[in-house]
Amino acid sequence: MKCSIFDGFKAVLSKGCQKYNKKLNHQKIIREKITHTLQAEADALQALCQQIDDKMVLAVELIFSSSGRVIVTGIGKSAIVAQKMVATFNSTGTNAIYMHAADAIHGDLGMIAEKDVVICLSKSGNSPEIKVLIPMIKAFGNIIIGLVSHQDSFLYKEADYPVLLPMDKEADPNNLAPTTSTTLQMAVGDAMAVALLSLRGFSKESFARFHPGGSIGKQIYLKVSDIYKNNEKPKVYLNDNIKTIIVEISKKRLGITVVTDDNENMMGVITDGDLRRMLENTDDLRFVTAAAIMNEKPKTIDAGSLAADALGIMRKFSISQLVVVDGIRYAGIVHIHDLIREGIM
């Protein structure tokens, strides 16, 4: 029996609908699992916030008063969290070193000095490496802070400062993959670092010293004076004519020129936008001077200000350049392209 063209069309349409419905089903599953995971971890964090006890407070106080370093160790996914915790500690003023628990029992214990404080991360608190490692650290006389999710575990019982990170189950359906447990570890590590930096009076300037090459550091230490000197310095005088103004703006390629008096004091600015508006409203250009069309109250910034502050002003007023001043004297121009190039944005 021959199939009609209509039957063939129905088959193609049916197959297309099946693919579309399958795609929608996949998207539904993805959305549900993402929401479930985030909610499960958020609930665990919220529960932890309600259970902060003296042990965690004392643990942070111990680290703050110690003259030694912080050694952070763990096994498996907890070891990865330990590395992140060490990075955060070091960047916020707390001297820290990472030690993998498995490597520790094969020689790396030698990195622990007499006054160092050891933070041990473990969900179960009962892994073979932890059971071997903890007695060896205690034999050295070092104090151990344990971050663990089971109160009846070896780590919780043996740590000098056991900190319980309670959780019902992991976020994954099989309750196996470290998800909620590592989120709690990560969050507590961040919380300890923030508490410590607050106790140390760790400032923005201190933070910048540890991040000199990154965009974060530049937001804290890079000044306008470090940037504007690389730009041209467009300038016209009060009585200069329209031709002079246009040539100066075009030649210096910053979309602006500053109008000064004979003493280099800024009197106003003219942008390419000011020129367009003037041309729309003026028929006779022969007697137009800079003084007649300049903006007498432009947005300015002091040469000693932070480049990040310049960006804030540009964003607030939707402009792409600022006049740099030293008192009332015209110093130069800082352009938004300068800030992009420096990685401030």
Per-residue confidence (pLDDT) for residue 6, from 0 to 100: 60
Contact call for residues 178 and 78 (beta carbons, < 8 A): yes
Per-residue confidence (pLDDT) for residue 327, from 0 to 100: 80
Cα separations in angstroms, 231 against 77, 252, 324? 50, 9, 11
Q: How many whole angstroms separate alpha carbon 332 and alpha carbon 227?
A: 10
What DSSP designation does 4 have? Answer: P
Give me the half-sphere count of Cα atoms (radius 13 Å) on the Cβ side of residue 68: 18
- Superfamily of domain 49-202 in CATH is Glucose-6-phosphate isomerase like protein; domain 1 (3.40.50.10490)
Q: How many whole angstroms separate alpha carbon 11 and alpha carbon 322?
A: 65
β-partners of residue 335 are: 321
CATH T-level topology, domain 224-341: CBS-domain (3.10.580)
Per-residue confidence (pLDDT) for residue 20, from 0 to 100: 66
Going from N- to C-terminal start, the domains of the chain cover 49-202, 224-341
Q: How many whole angstroms separate alpha carbon 183 and alpha carbon 202?
A: 25
Q: Cβ atoms within 10 A of the Cβ of 190, count?
A: 14
Residuewise pLDDT in 10s, the chain (345 residues): 455 666 665 666 666 667 767 767 788 888 898 999 999 999 999 999 998 888 899 999 999 999 999 999 999 999 999 999 999 999 888 999 999 999 988 888 899 999 999 999 999 999 999 999 999 999 999 999 999 999 999 999 999 999 999 888 899 888 888 999 999 999 999 999 999 999 988 766 666 666 555 556 666 678 889 889 889 999 999 999 999 999 999 999 899 999 999 888 899 999 988 888 888 888 778 888 889 889 999 999 999 898 888 989 999 999 999 999 988 789 999 999 988 888 776
Q: How many whole angstroms separate alpha carbon 234 and alpha carbon 183?
A: 54
